[in-house]
A and B are shown apart, each in its own frame.
Chain A
Amino acid sequence: MIYYFAIVFSVFFIAFIISLVKKDKLDEKYSILLLLFSIVILIVSIYPKIITIVANEFSVYYPPSLLLLFAILILGAYVLHITIVITKQNKMIVKLTQQTGILKQRIEELEDEEPKNKTKNA
């Protein structure tokens, strides 16, 4: 029963991500990892035997624990990926803010000078 649920869930997940990308709410480059992840879930839920086969290869005593391990590893990788993106964006925001401040000051300076020049010309 749970397998059917998993299949339905992963199909919905894929459809959801694709719709998000379509609506431009999710960048393509961020969606790739999620899509891959959900496709893996789909495959595993259609052929649950894969887990047992892989577990035997890695000589894991209790196959489902392997599934959990991989899930945690993939999530960890995804979190790291997102943290890197955040750090990059944070740096960009700081740079933007600084430049905005400097430009604002410059504009005010120029605006102050302009009336004086006008009066001089007059």
Chain B
Amino acid sequence: MKSNNKTQRSNGIELTDIIIFFIVFIIFGMALLSFFPGLLTSDNVDQINQAITNSYVNAHPVLHSFIIGNLTKLSGIWVPALFQILIFAIGWTYCCKVARKYNDSGSNKIFQIIATLAISVIPLNFLYSITLWKDILYSYSFLILLAQIYIGVKENYKYTIPQMILIAISTISIMKLRHNGVPIGLLMFAILLVLNFIFNKKWKQSVCMLITFIVTFIVFSIPGWTINITNTGGTEVGGVLDSTKIYCMGALLNSDIEFEVEDLEFLDSIFDINDWKNLYSPYDGTSILFNTNLNKEVLETEEGAERFNEIFIKYAKQKPGTIIVHFIKVNSIWWSIKEHGAMHSIIINNGSVSEMSNGIYDNHPIWWKGNDKLGNYAINTLSTKVVYNIMYRPAVAIWVSLITIVAVCIKERKKGYLLILLPMILNIGTYVFLMSSQDQRYFYPCFMTEYISIIIFASTFIKNEKMRNVKINKNINKENPKTLIIIPAYNESESIEKTVNSVYDEQIENCDVIVINDGSKDNTLEVAKRTNARVIDLPNNLGIGGAVQTGYLYALENDYDIAIQIDGDGQHNTKYIRNVIEQIKEGNDLVIGSRFVEKTNYNQTFMRMLGNNIISFTIKLLTGRKICDTTSGYRGANKNIIEEFAKSYPYDYPEPCTNMRILKEGYKVKEIPVMMKNRETGVSSISPSKAAIYMIKVTLAILLMGLKY
């Protein structure tokens, strides 16, 4: 029973999701603060520079550059940093939801493995395609562990084999990707292990986890398989000197170039030459960059930076191949070397990249074509394996993820998942635009498309929530439900008697009629009391919403199974009441008598038609479901809905707003065709002249309601 209640309360976004979101937000924020000295990595610094100089020419997604750059201009570094974290948190919350879904569903083992893989690559794709952020892999592994801990809470830390592998891989990635990852990775793995042991009290599974970890560690330790991501962030010195240069200098020192004595002396003042040679590794510059003996003060002065740069360019020209190896790993080296002419000499030295000298690629994203050329050069001069290691592995991850996403799409028959690919596709589109022209105007559609794709992604995140459980109907007395007909009446003395009598003429079993006199000024009350119907006399005029809600309150208090509201003006044909009751018996929660499902002879002005269509479209936009007649006051509700309506019911524009809300909460709504007579007496609550204003107000009200639910 408890679980039933839980499913019934499930709204669009559950509380747990919000909690995950904030946990991710806070933890990732802390991770950023503690791991990245400058909060943002070198890529982001690049992007910000692009925005400030108004020259979006790099390989980074332009809109992202535009947004974080301009945010920095306006408000300093904190806001873009938060923006990054926000994007990450959204992506990750989505992944946690997918993870939970597959853990709940009883799909077969193989598919579970595929799905687990998909979970692990979708955010990578998404985030990488938005940010092109190299440290994303690290942060991402960090969060895989967090997600597994989250899933563990639900499952008492009982992990399946694919989950164990995922845990092991992510732990090892954390340990290997960054210099300070070892303690964090081990700590998190130990926490998982201990939790698993405490909650399961089965040493077998803990041992299994440990073995998985060790095996994965060994597999990942085989040279050539290791994921080595080079760190570049941290030590930007006025944009002139890139941190990459510092460890590229290590490569030059290790090569067979003969350095001049005064140059060596200068370099020695920055970092001990022998250490420089010893600590240099072709894959990882962190041991030099984060060494406490590295004397950054020399580099931070303008003279020192200039001098270092001169020395670097001087020897880089002599040994261009060394620089290319680093270039393939870290694109940003291109910019710093090219500015000072060193790249030009590379181009002259090697025929296969000579095209670079004619200036064609000067302002183009280098990884578009330049990477190919330099890659070819590298393949010719270096071993293929090294190039593969440093260049293509991220691409493999992306291809794997593409395949898994498509697999999930086919399996689940949900095209929505394909939208995840959109950011990637649009990014490629952006570069096509950039290739064709350097005209600044081309950037604006790119800005639009990229971030529209993010919005679409976010909307799929919300839409997936609609796959929530079907509401459980409260046990309706199916044979003979107690029915209440609610008739709100305001100054309807002429038609109320006829309406009530026509309901009684239908002779529905176990049915009561209640007339709600909404503080009428004429003798509606007396007329209503003459009939057999019960009458509630409200002392004030509450408006249609308040009056109808009174009826639902009455239905709730007197334990009715079905409540049907009809207008008191005689427009609604009572012969459809039976149909409404039938539909509710069949398990629909809310039944709407609609004028437009089938063509009826109801007299409809153009303005009203337009207004109704716009409201209907708004509701479709917010809920994904279509209601033809949004303003119909001919509605039948079962017990669930009676409870909802008694709890809260808007006083203005009640029908469209409540229709939207009921759809959003996931109840079953059915429209049945009804014929409506044209008004006999009285004045409609919506006069045609006010239809336009009414429509605008209702649309705004519905949009505001959308925030609530």
Q: State the A residues within 8 Å of B (CB).
A: 93-94, 97-102, 104-105, 109
B534 touches A98 (CB 8 A): no
* Contacts A94-B546, A94-B651 given; does A102 touch B553 at CB 8 Å: yes
Name the interface residues of B543-599: CB closer than 8 Å to any CB of A: 546, 549-550, 553-554, 557
A99 to B538, CA, bound (A): 9
B537 touches A101 (CB 8 A): yes
Question: Pick the contact of A94 from B534, B535, B542 — CB < 8 Å?
Answer: B542
A98 to B557, CA, bound (A): 12
Give the residues in chain A near B542, CB-CB below 8 Å.
Answer: 94, 97-98
Question: Pick the contact of B554 from A93, A94, A97, A102 — CB < 8 Å?
Answer: A102
B536 touches A104 (CB 8 A): yes
- Minimum C-beta distance from B540 to chain A (A): 5
* Contacts A97-B546, A98-B546, A98-B553 given; does A105 touch B539 at CB 8 Å: no
B540 touches A105 (CB 8 A): no
Mask: chain B, 318-341; 1 = CB below 8 Å from A; 0 = not: 000000000000000000000000
Cβ-Cβ contact count across A and B, 8 Å cutoff: 38
4 closest Cβ pairs, A-B complex: A101-B536, A101-B538, A98-B550, A105-B536
B539 touches A102 (CB 8 A): no
- 15 example contacts (A-B, Cβ-Cβ < 8 A) are as follows A94-B546, A94-B549, A97-B538, A97-B539, A97-B540, A97-B546, A98-B546, A98-B553, A100-B539, A101-B516, A102-B536, A102-B553, A102-B554, A104-B537, A105-B536
A105 touches B535 (CB 8 A): yes
Give the residues in chain A near B546, CB-CB below 8 Å.
Answer: 94, 97-98
Known: A101-B538, A105-B537. 5 other contacts (CB 8 A): A93-B540, A94-B542, A97-B540, A97-B546, A101-B516
A105 touches B534 (CB 8 A): yes
A110 to B538, CA, bound (A): 18
A105 to B516, CA, bound (A): 10
Write the chain B residue with the least CB distance to A104. B537
Give the residues in chain B near A105, CB-CB below 8 Å.
Answer: 534-537, 554
Give the residues in chain B near A101, CB-CB below 8 Å.
Answer: 516, 536-539, 550
Write the chain B residue with the least CB distance to A103. B536
Give the residues in chain A near B535, CB-CB below 8 Å.
Answer: 105
A100 to B540, CA, bound (A): 10
- Minimum C-beta distance from A92 to chain B (A): 12
Write the chain A residue with the least CB distance to B557. A102
A42 to B645, CA, bound (A): 51
Give the residues in chain A near B534, CB-CB below 8 Å.
Answer: 105, 109
A101 to B516, CA, bound (A): 9
Give the residues in chain B near A98, CB-CB below 8 Å.
Answer: 538, 542, 546, 549-550, 553
Name the interface residues of B518-545: CB closer than 8 Å to any CB of A: 534-540, 542
A94 to B519, CA, bound (A): 12
Give the residues in chain B near A109, CB-CB below 8 Å.
Answer: 534
A105 to B651, CA, bound (A): 22
Write the chain A residue with the least CB distance to B549. A98
Give the residues in chain A near B540, CB-CB below 8 Å.
Answer: 93, 97
- Minimum C-beta distance from A37 to chain B (A): 31
- Minimum C-beta distance from A108 to chain B (A): 8
A105 to B514, CA, bound (A): 10
A109 to B558, CA, bound (A): 13
Name the interface residues of B640-666: CB closer than 8 Å to any CB of A: 651
- Minimum C-beta distance from B574 to chain A (A): 22
- Minimum C-beta distance from A42 to chain B (A): 37
- Minimum C-beta distance from A14 to chain B (A): 38
Name the interface residues of B93-119: CB closer than 8 Å to any CB of A: none
A99 to B537, CA, bound (A): 10
Give the residues in chain A near B538, CB-CB below 8 Å.
Answer: 97-98, 100-101
A100 to B542, CA, bound (A): 13
- Minimum C-beta distance from B657 to chain A (A): 16
A104 to B534, CA, bound (A): 11
Write the chain A residue with the least CB distance to B545. A94
- Minimum C-beta distance from A45 to chain B (A): 36
A23 to B125, CA, bound (A): 69
Give the residues in chain B near A93, CB-CB below 8 Å.
Answer: 540
A101 to B519, CA, bound (A): 10
Give the residues in chain B near A102, CB-CB below 8 Å.
Answer: 536, 550, 553-554, 557
Give the residues in chain A near B554, CB-CB below 8 Å.
Answer: 102, 105
Write the chain A residue with the least CB distance to B552. A98
- Minimum C-beta distance from A104 to chain B (A): 6
- Minimum C-beta distance from A113 to chain B (A): 13
Give the residues in chain B near A104, CB-CB below 8 Å.
Answer: 536-537
A32 to B623, CA, bound (A): 44
Give the residues in chain A near B549, CB-CB below 8 Å.
Answer: 94, 98
